[in-house]
C-alpha cells in the first residue's frame, strides 16, 4: 500500500489538483479526499491541507466538515476557504469584501523571524481568488502576513501547528508558493521528502504482487505512455501472468496498429494484436453526440476484452492505464464536489456480466509522474516522449458522425502534421498535437475549378499534466508549409485552420 504523507481535503476548488501537484513536486506523496468523505484512519497522514472552495463559509449549504480529529492533532494548512472556515467557526469574523481580492497581489507585511515565511521576502507576489474576507482573526490567532488590500492574508493559531493563508500558493502566479509549501510540510510538519519514481515503483510492484498473487491479468495496450508504463509495472510484479492485448479500433493513427506491435517486440511483454476495427465502426454508425460515441466505444472495448479474456484460462483481472486526470475529469475526485467535465472510456469499472476485476497501477499519479516512473524503469525515451492520444482515438477528433472515409482523411492529415513536427524539431516541445475534422465544408479553388470540401483544424498544446494547457505558438512558416502539404496531398480537404484556445476554458480535445 502506498505510504500516505499528506491529506488534502477538497472543498471543490478548481485549484485543488494543483495543490497535489505542488506537494508531489516536493517528493512528498499526497491524496485528495472530499470534505464529506474524510478517511476514518488518519494515522497514515502526517499533515493536512484544506483547499479553497467556490462556496462562502457564511452560506448554509457550504462545506462544514468536522475537523475534531485533525485540528490541533496534526499540522494543518488552511488555504483560502479553509482559512475563512477556521476564522468563521473559531471566534473570528468573515464578511463580504469591499476591496478587490482577485488576481495578483504582493505581500506588504511579513512577521519577522517566522519559519512559515522562511526565504520569502516582503513584496513576494501571491494570487488571490475570493469574494469574502477575514475581518477579524479567530481566537488565539497571530497575524503573519498582509497585502495592501487584505489585512489578514496569513495567520497561525498559538498552541497548535495550524497555519492559514488567504491566497493560493499552488498556482503559478504565487511566485514563492512552492517555498511556502516546503516551509510548512518539511520544516514545520517534519515530513521526509522520499516519494520518488523509484520508491513508487518499489511500493507499487510490491502492492501488485500482494493484490494479484498468482492470478492472470489482461491489459489493454494502446502504444501510449500510460498503458506501456502500467504494463512494465505489472510485468515486474507478475511476469508471464500478464497478457497484453492491443486492439485496433479502426480509429488509430495511420499505420499505428502495425507500428505499435513492432514497438513492443523485444520488451519481453506478451502482446497479442486484435483487429476489431469493423466492430467499432459498426457501433459508431450514425452517432454524432460525443458522449454517445465515447459510450459506444467503451462498450465495444469491453466486449472485445471479454471475448479475448475468455480465451485466457483463469484470467481474473483487467489492467488499465488510468491516470489521475482521467479520474478527476470523469468523476469528482474520490466522490468530491468538483464538476464532471467528460467521461473517460477507461474509468468507472466494468459491467456485472464481465468477471474481471480492475487493477489500475497508475490511477493516483499525473502524466509527467508516469513519464518519470517509466524512465526510472528504463523504458525507451522515444516511447515515453510520445504525445498523449485519446482512448476513443480519432472518433472524438471527427466532429459529428463517423465513417471510414472520414477516418481515412483524418489519418492522412494527422500523419502529415505529426511527421512535420518531428522533421522540424518541434515534436518534443509540444505536449500533445493532433488534427480535428470539422463537420463543415468550405468553398475552395483548385486548378481553376470550384471545390466544396472538408475543413481540418490543427491543435498543439503545451502542458505538464493535462489539467491545464496553453496553445503552442508554432512558427508561421511551419504552419504554412503544413497547410499546403495537407491540402495538396489529402483528397477531400481544402482548408486548414489552427486552434489557439487554452485549457481552461477550452479542453485539449474538441469532444
Active site residue 511: no
3-state secondary structure 362-410: CCCCCHHHHHHHHHHCCCCHHHHCCCCCCCCHHHHCECCCCCHHHHHHH
Dist. CA 444–CA 484, nearest whole Å: 13
497 prior amide bond cis, ω within 30: no
Residue 494 contacts residue 487 (beta carbons within 8 Å): yes
Dist. CA 236–CA 208, nearest whole Å: 9
- Detail the DSSP E strand segments found in 276-417: 315-319, 357-359
Catalytic residue from among 31, 101, 170, 453: 170
Could you tell me whether strands 6-10 and 30-34 are parallel, antiparallel, or unpaired per DSSP bridges?
A: parallel
Dist. CA 126–CA 357, nearest whole Å: 45
Dist. CA 251–CA 280, nearest whole Å: 8
Dist. CA 71–CA 34, nearest whole Å: 17
The SS3 of residue 391 is coil
To the nearest 5 percent, what fractions of the chain are helix, strand and coil? 35, 25, 40
CA-to-CA dists, residue 260 to 91, 230, 305, 490, angstroms: 62, 16, 18, 24
Residue 356 contacts residue 218 (beta carbons within 8 Å): yes
Active site residue 30: no
Active site residue 170: yes
First to last CA, the chain: 36
Which is it for the CA torsion 491, 496, 501, 506, positive or negative?
negative
- Tell which residue, 265, 266, 295, has the closest CA to residue 280: 295
DSSP code, position 86: H
Residue 489 contacts residue 412 (beta carbons within 8 Å): yes
Residue 392 contacts residue 347 (beta carbons within 8 Å): no
Catalytic residue from among 168, 235, 243, 344: 168
Catalytic residue from among 31, 80, 256, 412: 80
Residues linked to residue 317 through DSSP beta bridges, in sequence order: 217, 357
Dist. CA 30–CA 350, nearest whole Å: 27
Residues linked to residue 396 through DSSP beta bridges, in sequence order: none
- Which residues are catalytically annotated? 80, 168, 170
Amino acid at each position: 500500500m502506498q505510504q500516505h504523507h499528506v491529506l488534502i481535503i477538497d472543498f471543490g476548488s478548481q485549484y485543488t489538483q494543483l495543490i497535489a501537484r505542488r506537494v508531489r513536486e516536493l517528493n512528498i506523496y499526497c491524496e485528495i479526499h472530499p470534505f464529506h468523505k474524510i478517511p476514518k484512519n488518519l494515522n497514515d497522514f502526517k499533515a493536512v491541507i484544506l483547499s479553497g472552495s467556490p462556496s462562502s463559509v457564511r452560506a448554509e449549504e457550504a462545506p462544514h466538515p468536522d475537523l475534531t480529529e485533525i485540528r490541533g492533532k496534526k499540522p494543518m494548512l488552511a488555504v483560502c476557504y479553509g482559512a475563512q472556515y477556521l476564522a468563521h467557526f473559531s471566534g473570528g469574523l468573515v464578511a463580504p469584501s469591499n476591496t478587490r481580492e482577485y488576481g495578483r497581489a504582493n505581500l506588504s507585511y511579513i512577521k519577522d523571524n517566522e519559519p512559515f515565511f522562511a526565504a520569502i521576502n516582503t513584496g513576494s507576489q501571491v494570487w488571490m481568488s475570493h469574494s469574502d474576507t477575514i475581518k477579524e482573526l479567530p481566537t488565539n490567532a497571530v497575524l503573519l502576513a498582509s497585502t495592501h488590500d487584505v489585512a489578514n492574508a496569513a495567520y497561525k493559531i498559538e498552541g497548535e501547528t495550524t497555519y492559514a493563508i488567504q491566497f493560493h500558493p499552488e498556482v503559478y502566479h504565487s511566485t514563492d508558493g512552492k517555498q511556502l509549501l516546503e516551509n510548512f510540510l518539511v520544516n514545520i510538519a517534519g515530513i521526509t521528502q522520499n516519494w520518488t519514481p523509484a520508491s513508487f515503483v518499489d511500493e507499487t510492484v510490491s502492492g501488485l504482487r500482494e493484490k494479484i498473487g498468482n492470478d492472470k491479468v489482461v491489459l489493454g495496450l494502446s502504444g501510449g505512455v500510460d498503458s506501456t508504463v502500467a504494463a512494465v509495472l505489472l510485468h515486474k510484479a507478475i511476469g508471464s501472468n500478464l497478457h497484453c492485448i492491443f486492439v485496433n479500433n479502426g480509429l488509430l493513427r495511420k499505420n499505428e496498429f502495425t507500428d505499435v506491435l513492432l514497438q513492443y517486440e523485444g520488451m519481453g511483454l506478451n502482446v497479442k494484436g486484435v483487429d476489431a476495427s469493423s466492430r467499432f465502426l459498426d457501433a459508431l454508425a450514425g452517432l454524432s453526440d460525443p458522449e454517445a460515441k465515447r459510450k459506444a466505444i467503451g462498450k465495444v472495448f469491453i466486449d472485445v476484452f471479454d471475448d479475448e479474456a475468455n480465451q485466457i484460462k483463469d484470467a481474473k483481472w483487467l489492467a488499465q492505464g488510468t491516470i489521475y486526470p482521467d479520474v478527476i475529469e470523469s468523476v469528482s475526485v474520490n466522490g468530491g464536489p468538483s464538476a464532471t467535465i467528460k467521461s473517460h472510456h477507461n474509468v468507472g469499472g466494468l459491467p456485472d456480466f464481465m468477471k474481471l476485476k480492475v487493477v489500475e497501477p497508475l490511477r493516483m499519479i499525473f502524466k509527467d509522474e508516469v513519464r518519470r516512473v517509466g524512465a526510472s524503469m528504463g523504458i525507451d525515451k522515444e516511447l515515453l516522449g510520445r504525445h498523449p492520444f485519446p482512448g476513443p482515438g480519432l472518433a472524438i477528433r471527427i466532429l459529428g458522425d463517423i465513417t471510414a472515409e472520414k477516418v481515412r482523411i483524418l489519418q492522412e492529415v494527422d500523419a502529415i502534421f505529426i511527421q512535420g513536427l518531428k522533421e522540424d524539431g518541434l515534436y518534443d516541445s509540444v505536449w500533445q498535437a493532433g488534427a480535428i475534422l470539422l463537420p463543415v465544408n468550405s468553398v475552395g479553388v483548385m486548378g481553376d475549378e470550384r471545390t466544396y470540401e472538408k475543413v481540418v483544424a490543427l491543435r498543439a498544446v503545451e502542458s505538464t499534466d493535462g489539467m491545464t494547457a496553453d496553445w503552442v505558438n508554432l512558427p508561421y512558416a511551419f504552419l504554412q508549409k503544413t497547410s499546403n502539404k495537407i491540402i495538396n496531398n489529402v483528397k477531400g480537404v481544402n482548408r486548414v485552420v489552427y486552434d489557439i484556445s487554452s485549457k481552461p476554458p477550452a479542453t485539449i480535445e474538441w469532444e
